[in-house]
Amino acid sequence: MAEIDPALLDEMNAIAEATQKAELQLLQKRVELLSPIWEKRRALIAKIPKFWSTVVQKHDALAQMVEEVDLPILEHLTDVWVKHDSKDARNYEIIFTFNENPHFKNKTLVKKVAIKDDEPVTEEFKIDWKEGKDVTVKDHKRKKSDSDNISDSFFSWFRDEDTSLADLFVHEIYPEALSVYAEDDEDFEDDESVDLDDDEEDEDDEEEEEEEEKHTKKKSKK
């Protein structure tokens, strides 16, 4: 590999830094523009029962983490909000709000991600479980499989050091939450329209058969 002139290398590094800065500015602007829209969406979602618990159970990446023991807890999930740092939008918090429930004392559970040394890091969030209600302990039977990459519970995610799912949630699941929620409903509507079409075709066939029978009877009389 040929050596690169130090001056040229400096210029290339400067371009890389400028690119990173521009991307951050774009992210900041995106968050600024979308925040009021998400606020309006939030108000509408609040009127839909079990919206976020449905999203969690429908999206593949989240659903594979959900165990049977999680379902009664997710019934109490009332809101999810993503809050970005005003100075660096790469830093964010995913805030899950729950109504009063028999499982834990927290009103909110938070997944926080921050950039340190250009790498995303997260820390464990302490869930204040009520006595005997901690579903993250490892004496529960798994619903999906015994593979090491499947969590004992969705709520184990709040102590997981991996940030990939949080990033997926912020940049894909959260923006497309309405689509995720309505996914099966759309499939149902499609199936329903197909059934209607089939019914119409059956009716047409019956009418044609009746006409043929009438025509045959007229001929026989002649």
CATH of the domain at 167: 3.30.1120.90
pLDDT, tens digit (0-9, with 9 covering 90-100), for 12-57: 999 999 999 999 999 999 999 999 999 999 999 999 999 999 999 9
215 part of a folded domain = no
Q: Looking at the domain assignment, is residue 202 inside a domain? A: no
What SS3 class is residue 104?
A: strand
Look at residue 207 in the predicted model and tell me its pLDDT.
59
| pLDDT for the residue 124 | 94
Average pLDDT estimate for 112-124: 94
Compute how many other C-beta atoms are within 10 angstroms of the C-beta atom of residue 169.
24
Number of domains in the chain: 1
Does 1 fall in a domain?
A: no
pLDDT of residue 144: 45
Establish if 197 belongs to a structural domain.
Answer: no
Looking at residues 89-113, what average pLDDT do you find?
Answer: 98
Q: Taking the CB of residue 212, how many other CB atoms lie within 10 A of it? A: 10
Range in 23-32, 100-109, 132-141, 188-197 with the lowest mean pLDDT = 188-197
Average pLDDT, the chain: 84
**What would the mean pLDDT of 201-220 be, rounded to a whole number?**
57
| Average pLDDT of the residues in 130-140 | 83
pTM of the complete model beyond 0.85: no
Could you tell me which residues come within 8 angstroms of residue 129 by beta carbon, excluding any fewer than 6 positions away?
A: 103, 104, 105
Local confidence band at 1 (pLDDT 50, 70, 90 cut-offs): low
Any bridge partners for residue 79, and if so which?
Answer: 97
Tokens of 150: 């499947």
Bigger pLDDT: 220 or 42?
42
Task: Identify whether 67 is part of a domain.
Answer: yes
Would you say residue 205 lies in a domain?
no
Is 93 inside a domain boundary?
Answer: yes
pLDDT value at 101 more than 80 = yes
Provide the residue range defining the domain that includes 112. 10-185
* E strands, 11-148, in order: 77-84, 92-98, 108-116, 119-122
Whether the per-residue pLDDT at 129 is higher than 50: the answer is: yes
90 in any annotated domain: yes
Helices assigned H by DSSP within 51-91: 51-58, 60-63, 71-74
Mean pLDDT score, 194-208: 51
